[in-house]
Amino acid sequence: MPKKRDLRQVTDSRVLAAMAHPLRRRLMDLLKVDGPATASMLAERTGEAVGNISHHMKVLAASDLVEEVPELARDRRERWWRLVSAALRWSSRDFENDPAGEAVAMAAASLGTERQLALLNAWRAASAEEHSAWGEGPFSTDSWMRLSPDELVEFSHEVIGLIRRWADRDVPDDGVERSPVFVFSHGIPAQP
């Protein structure tokens, strides 16, 4: 099985549009967390129709975001899918000279923020029992800093590096139950 590319820099607005769709993003998240899956498995996990999932997987494949894994299929009708890259990154700067690309980048950023906040709000609405089961693990932090643009770049590389180290690690086979945990971070110029 070929190793996934570690990080893909997305510079094509068509790829950005493909990955920014809420259901396609969720499908990619499921493949990241649970590994390769068929459209039927993904349909069961999302509550969507298998045909709808198949359509979205083909869109993702056309953008080289997912790929088929024929060696997992039991017969020619069964299609397994996996992520091509372990992580994706994009910058609005890559779309500055393309008005359509800029619009896609703005929409993708907005949808990404909405997704992050939806996951945060779902956690906040979870039962007291679920909160208690996680103890002091879930966290929130914010801080004001005085940074130059270059220092913000350096800081972002350190934060992203820490997150990637934990996200891409080989999960120990030590019998400890591990659940998916969503982590997000923003560092933006702002005024108090």
- Rg, Å, the chain Cα set: 18
What whole-number distance in Å separates Cα of residue 189 and Cα of residue 115?
21
Mean pLDDT by 10 residues, the chain (192 residues): 66 92 95 95 97 97 96 90 90 89 91 92 94 92 95 95 90 92 91 84
Residue type, 157: H
d(CA 65, CA 89): 12
Give CA 99 to chain center in angstroms.
25
Rounded Cα distance, 76 and 50, in Å: 17
Question: What's the CA gap between 50 and 43, in Å, rounded?
Answer: 5
Residue 80 DSSP SS3 = strand
Q: Using alpha carbons, select from 112, 90, 72 the residue that is nearest to residue 14.
A: 90
**Whole-number Å distance between alpha carbons of 106 and 100:** 10
Euclidean distance between CA atoms 184 and 44, whole angstroms: 26
This prediction's pTM: 0.84
Q: What share of the chain is helix, strand, coil (3-state, %, to 5)?
A: 55, 10, 35
Helices (H) and strands (E) in the chain, counts: 7, 5
Quick one: pLDDT at residue 2?
42
CA distance 50 to 42: 8
Is 80 within 8 Å of 37 (Cβ atoms)? yes
What Cα–Cα distance (Å) separates residue 66 from each residue in 6, 57, 77, 83, 123? 14, 7, 18, 4, 28
Q: How far is CA 38 from the centre of its chain?
A: 19
